[in-house]
Structure 1
Amino acid sequence: MLGIVLCGGQSLRMGTDKGLLDHQNKIWAQVAAEKLASLNLPVKFSVNPSQQEVYAAYLGKGQLIIDDTLLDVRGPLLGVLSVHLSNPEEDLFLLACDMLLMEIRLMEKLIKLFKPDDNFESYIFSQDSRQEPLCGIYKAKGLKKIVRLLQTNALARHSMKCVLSNLRICETTLESQDYKYFGNFNSKEDIKGTSPDNTPKL
């Protein structure tokens, strides 16, 4: 299994590349990587072509997996499928770089649930029936299925929620006190703790 830090978003609301923002003297991408590494996983960073040069300066070119521009997909799914196609036999543990509050103990829960030979194709959390796709495990066999659906124009939408609807999921319900760890920091207001959705302050 590979740990994958998703850094390839456009960061439009933030106005600057979120993965390169500083938190406790580390860039956000490194914070996420250390959490994945604590699970004894090798870690790679999913980035888009425009990010390649600056991320290579921080992390080393060999640590990066660049979005495949031949894929007619947008959003996180482009990064996920690009990683899958370059490592087709690897299961992936995804973590978005802007989920800064994520706790390792929650990630460990998914690792403990994971069984290489069971029928599940993804392991995720949900809160109030809302799935959390950007901190989760995706098996190679499930991602192969998604590629086939994409190739045959049978994937209705290119959202991660649509991806999950096509996979056999092991879904774990979050306790209410753990909801805050799944907040995404999308803007400067989120960081300051003044967002309308009450994203916790850093």
Structure 2
Amino acid sequence: MLGIVLCGGQSLRMGTDKGLLNHDDKLWAQAAADKLESLDLPVKFSVNPLQQLTYSGYFGNQQLIVDNTSLDLRGPLLGALSAHLSNNEEDLFLLACDILLMETRLLEKLIHSAKADGTFDAYIFTKDGQQEPLCGIYKSEGLKKIIFMLQNNALTKHSMKYVLGNLRVSEIAVEDHDYHYFGNFNSQEEIKRVS
């Protein structure tokens, strides 16, 4: 399994690259990577082509997976499928860099779930009945199904939730006291609330 930190978003509401923001003297991208590495996973950073030069300065080119421009996609799905195509036999543990407060113990729940029952294509959390697709394990076989759908013009929507609707998904309900760990930060005002 390979840990993938999703950093390739446009960060339009934030106004600056979220993965390169600092929290507790650490880049957001590095903080997410540290959590995945604590699970004994090798980690790579999913970036868009405009970010490649800057991120290589921080992490080195070998640690980057640059969006595959041959895929007619945008958003997190582009990052996920680009990572899959460059490591097509690896299961992927995706974690968005802006899920800043995520705790390792919650990530461990997904690992245990995947090890206990490997029959699903994806392992994710749900909060208030809504899927949380940007913190989850995606098996290589499931990602191959999505690539096949894409190649055959059967992927009519490109959202991660639509993708999950086409996979066999194991869901873990987030307990009420853990809700705030799943918040993603999109603006400076939201960051100030946790600073």
The TM-score bracket by the shorter chain reads over 0.9
TM-score where L is the length of structure 2: 0.98
Distance in 2 (CA, whole Å) between partners of 1:74 and 1:142 is 19
- Residue identity opposite 2:102 in structure 1: M
Q: Secondary structure at the match of 1:158?
A: coil
Q: How many Å apart are 1:116 and its aligned residue?
A: 8.6
Matched residue, 2:66: 66
Q: Secondary structure at the match of 1:115?
A: helix
Matched residue, 1:136: 136
Distance in 1 (CA, whole Å) between partners of 2:52 and 2:98 is 18
- Ranges of 4+ aligned residues in structure 1 off by more than 6 Å: none
Distance in 1 (CA, whole Å) between partners of 2:115 and 2:141 is 13
Q: Secondary structure at the match of 1:137?
A: strand
Q: How many Å apart are 1:181 and its aligned residue?
A: 0.4
Q: How many Å apart are 1:128 and its aligned residue?
A: 1.2
List runs of 5+ in structure 1 lacking aligned partners.
194-200
Distance in 1 (CA, whole Å) between partners of 2:111 and 2:191 is 29
Distance in 2 (CA, whole Å) between partners of 1:21 and 1:7 is 11
Question: What do residues 83-119 of structure 1 show as CA deviations (whole Å, max 9, x unaligned)?
Answer: 0000000000000000010000000000011139732
Distance in 2 (CA, whole Å) between partners of 1:173 and 1:31 is 24
TM-score where L is the length of structure 1: 0.94
Matched, 1:103 2:91: no
Distance in 2 (CA, whole Å) between partners of 1:52 and 1:90 is 22
Question: What do residues 152-176 of structure 1 show as CA deviations (whole Å, max 9, x unaligned)?
Answer: 1111200000010001011011101
Percent sequence identity is: 69
Q: How many Å apart are 1:134 and its aligned residue?
A: 0.4
Distance in 1 (CA, whole Å) between partners of 2:118 and 2:72 is 31
Matched residue, 1:85: 85
Q: How many Å apart are 1:122 and its aligned residue?
A: 0.3
Matched residue, 1:23: 23
